[in-house]
Amino acid sequence: MSAVVGVKVSVLELRPGMYVGRLDRSWRETRFLLEGVLLKSQQEIDELQQRCEYVYIDTERSNIDVRPLLFSLATRSIPGLPVKKIRPQTKVMTARMAEQDQELLRKELKRARQTYSDTRQYIDQALQDARFGRSLDTARARQLVAEMAQSITRTPNAMLWLSNMKKRDEYTSIHCLNVCVLALTFGRAMGLEAKELETLGLGALLHDVGKMKVPLEILNKPGKLTREEFQIIKLHTLDGYNILSAQGDISAEILDIVVSHHERIDGSGYPCGTQGDFIDTLSQITSIVDVYDAITSDRCYHDGMTPHDAMKLIYHWAGDSFDIELIDAFIQCLGIYPVGSVIGLKSGEFGVVVTATEHANLRPIILLVTDSQGQRLDIPKLLNLAHPKWTKESNRLEIERIVKSTEHGIDLSAIVANPALI
């Protein structure tokens, strides 16, 4: 299977300035001589609309801003998936609605912080138990997954905000916790029932227990792994399966997530090279969020990328590594400005996205951390960009770009860890 080029879009969404990298059919069926075209006229668009149903847009080679395109995808219903559609931005948001959104977030964060902390302590202990061959407290795991699912049901972005407390030297345990948060958030957006959410959450929380059998010098190696070392790393899926199956109280569905979270739909994954629909949907969900968290995290051998860049990269892999409809649903779930994104305003100020409100996905709640001169604020300010105060022309705040936190010395983990800021 050839690599998917860019973002899959309906031909009805084509605009001049988009670069079409691939069609849903052979290029020979069109009048275009070369494979790949920068759309310059309505005539070229009409040609593609007559011949194709969808195409793939190369966002890097296009001459237009990619954000409106991604928003179009994020708010599009996905045939065959029971995904709750994100509401588009409304024209008017009252001050009361904005204040209610912020108050709901504050209340949920108080409860979510305790659950997140308890689960962090649990996974630290569970990984230690796995390393030394002790039994895991799976009853406690189920209780914590249920608490996280309840928090996400009440206010999804509270747990997502806390998942940005990442430290390079504590990657494995935090990664397990954050994959669980992301999986539950994604699963809830897809309309999974409570039992399926519990299975998904437990599988995601425990997906990497097998890494405790990997020698630390390989697991924490800062440089490139040798072929032999990578073969050892790949054993962690089978080791995790064996550790948990020995417990005697872990379902086959959870074990499948643990053993299959590195499988890819084109058969290029491991340990079995399973392909397509033979990979269970819950395993596919876990594999998507596993990759997303990994590439947005600082690790011993690389710095994490922005959520926005991670989304673009995962889109590029869709069709080969991941199911295209599931990737579309994942983008729909997290939105254009995922929680934790560091954004620059046109005013020159910088802030961190805390949550996209239910009423206005393009105007999220942010924590403003610098002034227009780039100087750190002594006390960061929580702003709801959808509040009428910030949407009037005379005082309008607009997002201009997404940046890496390191570019402006913003310690995202420290900000999220401070409960006094929100």
Asked if residue 359 lies in contact with residue 87, where contact means CB atoms within 8 angstroms, the answer is yes
Q: Which of 6-10, 176-180, 362-366 has the highest mean pLDDT?
A: 176-180
Q: Please tell me the pTM assigned to this model.
A: 0.79
198-213 as b/e: b if 16+ CB within 10 A? bbbbbbbbbbbbbbbb
Of 222 and 74, the one with more pLDDT: 222
Q: What is the mean pLDDT of the chain?
A: 87
Q: Which of 34-38, 47-51, 206-210, 355-359 has the highest mean pLDDT?
A: 206-210
Asked if residue 79 lies in contact with residue 59, where contact means CB atoms within 8 angstroms, the answer is no
Residue 240: helix, strand or coil by DSSP?
Answer: helix
- Helix, strand, coil shares of the chain, percent, nearest 5, are 50, 10, 35
User: Does residue 180 carry a pLDDT above 90?
Assistant: yes
Q: Identify the pLDDT of residue 30.
A: 79
Q: Which amino acid is at 281?
A: T
Domains and CATH numbers, the chain: 7-64 (no CATH), 95-334 (1.10.3210.10), 342-421 (no CATH)
Q: What percent of the chain has pLDDT over 90?
A: 52
What does the DSSP assignment read for 280-339? -HHHHHHHHHHHHHHHTS-BTTBPPPPHHHHHHHHHHHBTTTB-HHHHHHHHHHH-SS-T
Asked if residue 305 lies in contact with residue 377, where contact means CB atoms within 8 angstroms, the answer is no
Dihedral through CA 136, CA 139, CA 144, CA 146, nearest 10?
140
Structure tokens at 361: 């996905």
Q: Identify the pLDDT of residue 4.
A: 43
Q: Identify the pLDDT of residue 103.
A: 87
Q: pLDDT band for position 83 (50/70/90)?
A: very low
Mean pLDDT, rounded, for 38-65? 83
Element (H, E) at 200: helix 194-205
Q: pLDDT band for position 71 (50/70/90)?
A: low
* CA distances to 83, 196, 311, 335 from 187, in Å: 9, 8, 18, 15
Q: Which of 209, 203, 242 is nearest to 130 (CA)?
A: 209
- In angstroms, the CA 265 to CA 324 distance is 10
- In angstroms, the CA 400 to CA 422 distance is 24
